[in-house]
Amino acid sequence: MTLKASVGSPFARILSVGAATPSRVIDNEYLLQYIDSSDEWITQRTGIRERRWIGEDEDIKTLSLTAGRQAIERAGVDVAEIDAVILSTISHYHQTPALAPQLATELGLTDAAAFDISAACAGFSYGLAQAEALVRSGQARYVLLIAGETISEITDLTDRGTAFLFGDGAGAVLVGPSETNGIGPVVWGSDGSQAGVIWQTKSWQDAVADGTWPKLGMDGRAVFKWATGFIAQAAKKALEEAGITADQLDVFIPHQANNRITDTLLRYLKLPENVVVARTIQTLGNNSAATIPMAMDALLASGEAKSGQTALIIGFGAGLVYAGQVITLP
């Protein structure tokens, strides 16, 4: 028997972006009460001057809802047409139930498919690949992709190697059908043999036993090496897969892990000087999965980047996992 297959739009694109930045501004000075460091070292080695952490009335849900709502409003799409919600996160406290169904319901969606994905700092591009596939296959008309993180809650403030890196926040995009292609082929992959490069310091079972939360641990040098070597090649491949050359690119939004990583990627890709480069790490730190949509929103809001321009995005992180694609900005 031949079964009916769903039929979707030939192409998909990002229709809108939204973001939520938490209220507490944490400067480098604040962290010096916990770690032996200096404002100068942190700024020079990473580019980070400050980051945002959640305040009393904020959490991963409030941030994700704000970003998601903004993306829906900006797209002007009726919620009844949004068939799926994907939340990309590594900092939601509950392994089950996923947070995405609650977000979908609170955003006014009825009976939408909704699920969380865990791909750390590559989570936005992983989710975008899913959203694009759902729209193009006809499994969903519109997909809301939210990336929400509260990494401050799993940061070990006494760890000199990570305490200063992370910030909280959320970003969201609405992906829908398009007559022209706005999302290039994803270049993605993983290397589980490097699971020990960025890790959770203990399992939840051990956390229950000793009554303290697991935190994030990281071999910063190993990530740095991987990001400036292998990830640089992956970024180049994403350009090739989309059929464009470096001089046709308008905007570059790499995961904001370290300004020195971004500088190395720029040199490797030989991007022209006029390409606009995301540097939100300076004021937002590393927001894991939320980094790329938050940077996209900031660049569009400031006018540095414009709707319709061509941007390369690439994320990389714990897993190890990575994903990147060329997109048309909403």
The footprint of ligand UT7 (CB under 6 A) covers 35, 37, 41, 45-46, 121, 160-161, 164-165, 198, 218, 220-221, 223-224, 255, 257-258, 286, 317
- 140 or 223, CB closer to ligand UT7? 223
- 14 or 321, CB closer to ligand UT7? 321
What is the rounded distance in angstroms from the CA atom of residue 137 to the CA atom of residue 23?
39
286: annotated active-site residue? yes
In sequence order, what are the residues at sequence separation of 6 or more whose Cβ sits closer than 8 angstroms to the Cβ of residue 302? none
Query: Shortest gap between Cβ of 140 and ligand UT7 (angstroms)?
Result: 29
Query: Shortest gap between Cβ of 165 and ligand UT7 (angstroms)?
Result: 6
Question: Degrees (nearest 5) of the Cα angle 139, 171, 274?
Answer: 105
274: annotated active-site residue? no
Rg of the chain, C-alpha, whole Å: 19
Query: Shortest gap between Cβ of 307 and ligand UT7 (angstroms)?
Result: 28
Query: Shortest gap between Cβ of 127 and ligand UT7 (angstroms)?
Result: 16
Catalytic-labelled residue, pool 28, 255, 259, 287: 255
- 41 or 245, CB closer to ligand UT7? 41
- 28 or 328, CB closer to ligand UT7? 28
Q: Which residue is nearest to ligand UT7 (CB)?
A: 220
- 113 or 218, CB closer to ligand UT7? 218
94: annotated active-site residue? no
Which residue has tokens 């910063």?
220
Catalytic-labelled residue, pool 92, 121, 181, 287: 121
Query: Shortest gap between Cβ of 154 and ligand UT7 (angstroms)?
Result: 13
CB 260 within 8 A of CB 46: yes
- 159 or 241, CB closer to ligand UT7? 159
Sign of CA dihedral 153, 154, 158, 160: negative
276-277 and 168-178 as β-strands: parallel, antiparallel, unpaired? unpaired
Q: CA nearest 291: which of 125, 114, 71, 104?
A: 125
Query: Shortest gap between Cβ of 286 and ligand UT7 (angstroms)?
Result: 5
Query: Shortest gap between Cβ of 261 and ligand UT7 (angstroms)?
Result: 7
Q: Indicate left, alpha or beta for 108 from its phi (over 0: left) and psi (-120 to 50: alpha).
A: left
Q: Is the peptide bond before 265 cis (omega within 30 degrees of 0)?
A: no
- 11 or 34, CB closer to ligand UT7? 34
Catalytic-labelled residue, pool 28, 258, 259, 286: 286
Residues identified as active-site: 121, 255, 286
